Every structure is written in structure tokens, then in C-alpha cells.
């Protein structure tokens, strides 16, 4: 049992989907899984285990930001021996050609956080996805006719920043989108020899100022969750 996750070893599947919003975890469990049990409600951060097409999988809310996902990923790894951690969340595009609803697979994650600087004593570390998960996710998206992009994303430490144009520097270096968790997840997975992947749905575009409605977000979210669920091993 973890400090922030209820349950015992065996309650959580080898593969865990990690949406930031616990209510999205609940939605995935209720609409896409069968034989679902809720193994954790601590701090309202819901966790569920069920079956997708006969394969056992868990869905665990992670909260917002790198410190929060680090807590849940650490406990999933150390207390529940999880092998694969797949973040499913939203992002904001930094490139004008990226449309609302596009799926972005985070091949790597830049960051403005100091978390890795502290770990590596000021040196740069490049957090990257597990290649096999990345390749399989890309192939699943293409086979399903889903519009998908692969590349570098920015894991930001702040949601409401003071400089409204700060994103332009990252865009100039072809960073596709901004989110808030990926760099920490990839670093932890590498440290403990686990597989990690971030599958993101573009919900707004900082370059074009477009933003998806709540209804559109829910519809495109299901595409992303399906790609993630198709990565589960039998």
C-alpha cells in the first residue's frame, strides 16, 4: 500500500493509464472497461482496475503537475510493481499547423522545471518515451485512421505564467505542445526500468488562439484512451 494510493499488491494491473483528472479515470473505467473495481479513493484521486477486451488494466488519476504525477508513479512502481505507465491527457499546441483534436505522442519532453537539474546536478537529461510503446501507439493510431503527430513536448511547471509569449521560444525549436507531467514520468520510468508513454489530445492552440469546447474534448479524449488501451499486453 502506498501513502497516497489504497489497495494491496495485486490490486493494480501491470499496465496503468494515468489521466490527470480523477473523474476522467472514472469515465474510462465506467465506459471502456468491464468488471471494474475501485481500489483507491484516497484524497479523491480515484483508481480503478478492470478488463479491456479480456486484458487486465488499471486507471489511476495523477493530479496536475510533475510533483503530483511523481508521487503516484513512484507508488505505482514501488508499492504495486506496475510495469507500464501511460499518461493520457490534454495539451496545448505551440505550432499553428496542429489542429484541435490532433493526437500527439510525446517522443521526448523538454521542461522548465528544476526537478531533473537537481537530480543531475545541473546537467541536462533528456526524458524520452519507451520506443516499443511509442512505435505501437503510432501504428495503432495510423491503423485506426487517427490524425497523430510525434515529437518533443514541453512539460511546464506553471499553468498561468507571467510571460504570455514564453511559449514562442519552444515553438521556434519545434516543440509541438505544452503539458505538465511528461518529463517527470519519463524520468521515473527510466530510473526504475519501467516503460512509459504519454499520449496527448490537443485541446487548444497558443499560436492560433483556438480552444476546443468541453464536448469536443470528451469526444477526442476517447480516441486517445483507445490507443492507450490497445497497448495492453494479453
What span, in angstroms and rounded, lies between the C-alpha atoms of 169 and 154?
11
What DSSP element (H or E) covers 175? none
What span, in angstroms and rounded, lies between the C-alpha atoms of 91 and 107?
14
For residue 102, indicate whether it is catalytic: no
Q: For helices 22-32 and 214-229, what crossing angle results, to 10°?
A: 60
What DSSP element (H or E) covers 232? none
Catalytic residue among 14, 21, 157, 204: 204
Q: On the CB side of 66, how many CA atoms lie within 13 Å of its CA? A: 25
Residue numbers annotated as active site: 204
Amino acid at each position: 500500500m502506498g501513502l497516497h494510493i489504497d489497495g494491496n499488491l495485486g490490486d493494480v494491473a501491470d499496465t496503468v493509464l494515468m489521466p490527470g483528472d480523477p473523474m476522467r479515470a472514472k469515465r474510462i473505467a465506467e465506459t471502456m472497461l468491464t468488471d471494474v473495481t475501485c481500489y483507491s479513493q484516497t484524497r479523491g484521486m480515484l483508481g480503478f482496475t478492470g478488463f479491456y477486451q479480456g486484458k487486465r488494466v488499471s486507471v489511476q488519476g495523477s493530479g496536475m503537475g510533475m510533483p503530483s504525477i511523481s508521487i503516484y508513479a513512484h507508488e505505482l512502481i514501488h508499492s504495486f510493481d506496475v510495469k507500464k505507465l501511460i499518461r493520457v491527457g490534454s495539451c496545448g499546441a505551440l505550432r499553428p499547423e496542429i489542429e484541435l483534436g490532433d493526437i500527439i505522442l510525446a517522443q521526448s519532453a523538454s521542461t522548465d522545471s528544476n526537478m531533473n537539474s537537481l537530480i543531475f546536478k545541473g546537467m541536462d537529461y533528456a526524458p524520452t518515451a519507451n520506443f516499443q510503446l511509442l512505435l505501437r501507439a503510432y501504428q495503432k493510431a495510423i491503423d485506426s485512421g487517427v490524425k497523430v503527430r510525434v515529437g518533443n513536448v514541453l512539460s511546464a511547471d506553471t499553468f498561468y505564467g507571467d510571460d504570455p509569449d514564453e511559449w514562442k521560444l519552444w515553438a521556434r525549436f519545434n516543440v509541438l505542445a505544452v503539458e505538465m507531467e511528461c518529463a517527470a514520468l519519463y524520468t521515473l520510468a527510466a530510473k526504475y526500468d519501467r516503460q512509459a508513454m504519454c499520449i496527448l489530445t490537443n485541446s487548444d492552440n497558443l499560436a492560433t488562439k483556438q480552444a476546443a469546447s468541453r464536448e469536443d474534448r470528451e469526444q477526442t479524449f476517447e480516441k486517445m484512451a483507445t490507443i492507450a488501451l490497445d497497448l495492453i499486453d494479453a
